[in-house]
Amino acid sequence: MELNTIKPAEGSKKNRRRVARGMGSGLGKTAGRGHNGQKSRSGGFHKVGFEGGQMPLQRRLPKRGFTSLMRDFRAEITVGTLAKLGASEVDLLSLKTAKLIANDAKMVKLIGGGEIKTAVTLRGVSATAAAKKAIEAAGGKFE
């Protein structure tokens, strides 16, 4: 094998389509754009969702709900997981170092599920009613 004999694999290189180069090319005259109309002209395009002036579908349908910008920075942890942690004081940083929540989490909510027997002090952590009841029953508190 020599460097000057190396060729790409058969069928891997395809000639690009050369439009508007005469009738013999098969893509002369209208150059594959059909006949008249907006799409046949240079610069002729319309934005996504454009329906020719008719009221577009996304504007005809009713709007409902919203997407919270904080959804990616929210984390949840169960009472049972908190019990396994075994710490007497828990805050956002201690949960991140224990790898129980993501590093980019900005708010944590404690949810019910599981039991806790030791008293835990929670700082900067919100909780559901069931979780709050479980923590306070074990002698813990929220700050």
Nearest in space to 123 (alpha carbons), one of 96, 90, 94: 90
Q: Would 83 be classed as within a structural domain?
A: yes
Count of other CB atoms within 10 angstroms of residue 114: 14
Would you place residue 106 in the very low, low, confident or very high pLDDT band (cuts 50, 70, 90)?
very high
- In this predicted structure, what is the pLDDT of residue 127? 92
What pairing do the DSSP bridges indicate for beta strands 121-122 and 141-142? parallel
Q: Would 30 be classed as within a structural domain?
A: no
Q: Would 14 be classed as within a structural domain?
A: no
Whether the per-residue pLDDT at 143 is higher than 90: the answer is: no
Distance, in Å, from the CA atom of 143 to the CA atom of 140, rounded to the nearest integer, reads 10
Q: Would 113 be classed as within a structural domain?
A: yes
Q: Would 11 be classed as within a structural domain?
A: no
Q: What is the DSSP letter of 63?
A: P
- In this predicted structure, what is the pLDDT of residue 32? 92
Question: Over the chain, what is the mean pLDDT?
Answer: 91
Q: Would 102 be classed as within a structural domain?
A: yes
Average of per-residue pLDDT across 2-25: 94
pLDDT, tens digit, for every residue of 50-97?
Answer: 998 999 999 999 999 999 888 889 999 999 888 888 888 999 999 999
Structural domain boundaries, residue 119: 71-142
Whether the per-residue pLDDT at 21 is higher than 90: the answer is: yes
Total domains, the chain = 1
Q: What is the pTM of this model?
A: 0.54
Q: Would 125 be classed as within a structural domain?
A: yes
Nearest in space to 96 (alpha carbons), one of 77, 78, 111: 77
Distance, in Å, from the CA atom of 83 to the CA atom of 96, rounded to the nearest integer, reads 16
Q: Would 94 be classed as within a structural domain?
A: yes
Single-letter amino acid, residue 120: V
Whether the per-residue pLDDT at 14 is higher than 90: the answer is: yes
Type and span of the H or E element at 75: strand 74-78
- Specify the CATH number for the domain of residue 98: 3.100.10.10
